[in-house]
Chain A
Amino acid sequence: MRSARGRRQWQSTADHVRVTGKRKSPLPEADGDTRSVAVSQTFFEKLWDQHVIAHLGQDTYLLQIDRLLMHELSGAQPLRALEAAGRRPDSPRQVFAMIDHLVATQPDRGIDDVGPSGGAQMIRDTRILSKHYGLTFFDTDDARQGIVHVVGPEQGIVQPGMTVVCGDSHTSTLGGIGVLAWGVGTSEVEHVLATQTIVQAKPKTMLVRFEGRLGTYVSPKDMVLHLIASIGIEAGIGYAVEFGGSVMRDMPVEGRLTICNMSIEFQAKYGFVAPDDITIDYLRGRAFSPVFEHWDAAVAYWRGLRSDSGSRYEREVVIDMTDVAPQVTWGTNPAHACAIDSVVPQPRSFIDPVERESVERALAYMQLEPGAKLQGTKIDVAYIGSCTNGRLSDLRAAADVLKGRRIAPHVLGICIPGSTVVKRAAEEEGLDLIFKAAGFQWHESGCGMCAAGGAHVLAGKRVIGTTNRNFEGRQGPGTRTHLASPVTVAQSAICGEIADPRVN
């Protein structure tokens, strides 16, 4: 579609005039007819337009996909299907595969070792077919192995301005580095393997501005939990969400990744932070970052991607972080979050009958009494890791709380670094020694017990963890999961109960 191609304008950030003759947007325009007026573009609109190959009618487009990431749980099946159909990957150089979901995390694991749910064949198939098709593949014992959403930015595989998909809902994480990244199903993975394109409906745009100042021990995890509790579990359906505001401006890339990770938890498939100097500094010198003249051209391109001043969003949300406390969840979805120093809500305070019933179910499952204080709730397990909070800054923050202390005797403490690179960097700083001295287990990297990798260990237990989903049964049969930040989890591990990190 030529008209869309004509709107590539990243080389000139001063000129935001849309090329005339473009299709009329099928989405409601914020200010009526904008066909012939100069319009500023958001980061999302620039990226979307730059990747449109063809308009397929209504709000549906064929998009170029710059990077496909794969892991064994959602990768083995589409690779087998591709082979069975007698097709080949269209762009193998743009496809990266790794082992993270099913692989065991205990020290000295073998390359095909898995948890009790099995899945070794999925690891083997992913390995064999990735090599067969010439994809870049990080095996279990590769120094670059790790959770796909941690590895992508860490290795510079994903770079600002890219479209990236992966068969995993937390692919939105990568938006933290200024990409348009979203989770897809295995059929779509097969489609991208075969064509390096995807059929996609254009979402609406939302801006979430985090303003104010973060209090002590209030982290990106607390910000995103507070956001979801404030705007609701469904608020992001059909939206691509840009995170901005003064708090995001100063935030390191790892914190941005945490926030974008959980955009899917309020149903925004896409969450992102436009690239800036912090992003560019982060990517400099990474293994797959552009080099030499390509670096300079890429940086010039990246600098043009941020949303133009005066650009319009279909929804804007402002969250004032001043006076927001560390957050913890009490229920069975991530919107069931509140300040750690508050109480379990009363179901009768919810007016909507479906919601009230869902809160009643949640409290019954979580075995919590309405009106009870969250602090002081006894925990069985403290879990640090996952694509949400398994990066070096997360481990440092937790270690800072754990240093020179011991977790409560009844608590099982587990730390699973998000990647092998994170694990080794942590060990170089001696963080592993702090975790171990405090009584935590120190694992190899992987998705571990975030989904059901540890179902046999966590069954029926009350877990406080740095993960992203507190759904019924998510971490095991009857497992009651409380989501929180790394410092809150560390503090709770020491106290043996849900504990406020600000009270030492």
Chain B
Amino acid sequence: MEALRVITGIAAPIMRSNVDTDQIVPSKELVRVHSEGYAASLFATWRYIGDRTINPDFLLNQSPWRNAAILLSAENFGCGSSREDAPKALRAFGIRVVIAPSFGGIFFNNCFRNGVLPVELPIDEVQCLAKQAIDGVVTVDLESQSVTAPDGQRFGFQSPGVLRQMMLAGVDEIDFILSLSAPIGVFRQTDRALRPWIY
């Protein structure tokens, strides 16, 4: 897991609800993506006109937002398909934190495994950040679980304990779980006797 403690950067507001993973990375990008790099696939339908002509109206094609490290959005961000290309493309573009009132559950988990921190804040706090995003940088601190707006206002958030600790320390999740071989072995010995048809 890529370590993340404090991120300070430009926060780009894409204040739409239900931004699904087909919007974050369209299906047709899922195969092609590996030769071109993930960043080029991010929001491909919105970012480009036709195949790869830059759409000047799309926020992330404009200054300063093209250098955003933080993305702001509305409810249910990342709903839909489980494609991990979605957080991979965000990360490759430079987005380290997504702040929204709620997230699709699979996407939420995928973010941690790809160096992107999903932060849940109430909609009025996200809108407060969105309104002053042009005024300066936003700081997200995973250690203290707080977001600081350009005007200095601070908002607290909660991240799942284990994932937060693994992200703070940059732990390899598989190595960590493999170190728990003793309880896993005990579980399976008992379980195999109770449900032999499973194994």
Contacts and interface: CB of A to CB of B under 8 A. Distances in A.
Contact of B102 (A62, A118, A237, A290): A237
A177 to B, nearest CB: 15
B81 interface: yes
Given A54-B180, A195-B184, A358-B16, A122 B31 contact: yes
Please classify how large the interface on chain B is, using the bins under 10, 10 to 19, 20 to 34, 35 or more: 35 or more
B171 to A, nearest CB: 11
Nearest to B75: A234
A187 B162 CA distance: 16
B74 interface: yes
Contacts of A58: 160-162
Nearest to A82: B174
A167 B22 contact: no
Interface stretch (A294-302, A377-385, A488-496): A294-302
A99 to B, nearest CB: 14
Contacts of A73: 30
Interface string B21-62: 011001110111000000000000100000000000000000
Most A-side CB within 10 Å, residue of B103, B110, B160, B188: B160
Interface in B8-27: 15-18, 20, 22-23, 26-27
Interface in B76-115: 76, 79-84, 87, 102-106, 109-110, 113-114
B92 to A, nearest CB: 15
A119 B31 contact: yes
A191 B173 contact: yes
Contact of A60 (B15, B18, B163, B194): B163
Nearest to A120: B31
B180 A452 contact: no
Please classify how large the interface on chain A is, using the bins under 10, 10 to 19, 20 to 34, 35 or more: 35 or more
Contact of B173 (A5, A60, A199, A201): A199
Given A53-B183, A199-B173, A117 B76 contact: no
Nearest to B30: A73
B87 to A, nearest CB: 8
Contacts of B173: 187, 191, 199
Nearest to A357: B16
Contact of A1 (B79, B87, B161, B183): B183
Contacts of A472: 22-23, 45
A149 to B, nearest CB: 12
B197 A294 contact: yes
A361 B196 CA distance: 53
Given A234-B76, A290-B197, A53 B18 contact: no
A161 B196 CA distance: 13
A59 B160 CA distance: 8
Interface string A1-22: 1000100100000000000000
Interface stretch (A178-186, A210-218, A247-255, A317-325): A178-186
Contacts, number: 174
B191 interface: yes
A196 B36 CA distance: 32
B16 to A, nearest CB: 7
Contacts of B74: 354
Nearest to B105: A269
B64 to A, nearest CB: 24
Contacts of B80: 169, 469, 471
A62 to B, nearest CB: 7
Contacts of B104: 237, 267
B17 A355 contact: yes
A414 interface: no
A8 B161 CA distance: 27
A219 interface: no
Contacts of A168: 81-82
B18 A233 contact: yes
A66 B82 contact: no
Contact of B81 (A159, A169, A290): A169
B82 A74 contact: yes
Contacts of B196: 294, 297
Interface in A48-91: 53-54, 56-60, 62, 64, 66, 73-74, 85, 87, 91
A326 to B, nearest CB: 24
A473 B197 contact: no
Nearest to A93: B199
A451 B180 CA distance: 38
B180 A185 contact: no
A347 interface: no
A474 B161 contact: no
A94 interface: yes
Contact of B75 (A182, A298, A354): A354
A199 B175 CA distance: 13
Given A183-B82, A474-B22, 19 more contacts: A62-B184, A74-B82, A74-B83, A122-B31, A159-B197, A161-B195, A168-B82, A184-B106, A185-B113, A197-B184, A237-B102, A237-B103, A238-B105, A290-B197, A333-B18, A333-B20, A354-B15, A455-B28, A469-B20
8 contacts: A54-B183, A57-B162, A94-B198, A194-B174, A234-B76, A234-B102, A237-B76, A471-B80
Interface of A: 1, 5, 8, 53-54, 56-60, 62, 64, 66, 73-74, 85, 87, 91, 93-94, 102, 117-119, 122, 159, 161-162, 167-169, 182-188, 190-191, 194-195, 197, 199, 201, 233-234, 237-238, 264, 267, 269, 290, 294-295, 297-298, 301, 333, 354-355, 357-358, 361, 451-452, 455, 469, 471-474, 477
Closest 5 pairs between A and B when the two form their complex, measured CB to CB: A452-B27, A187-B113, A185-B110, A290-B197, A185-B84
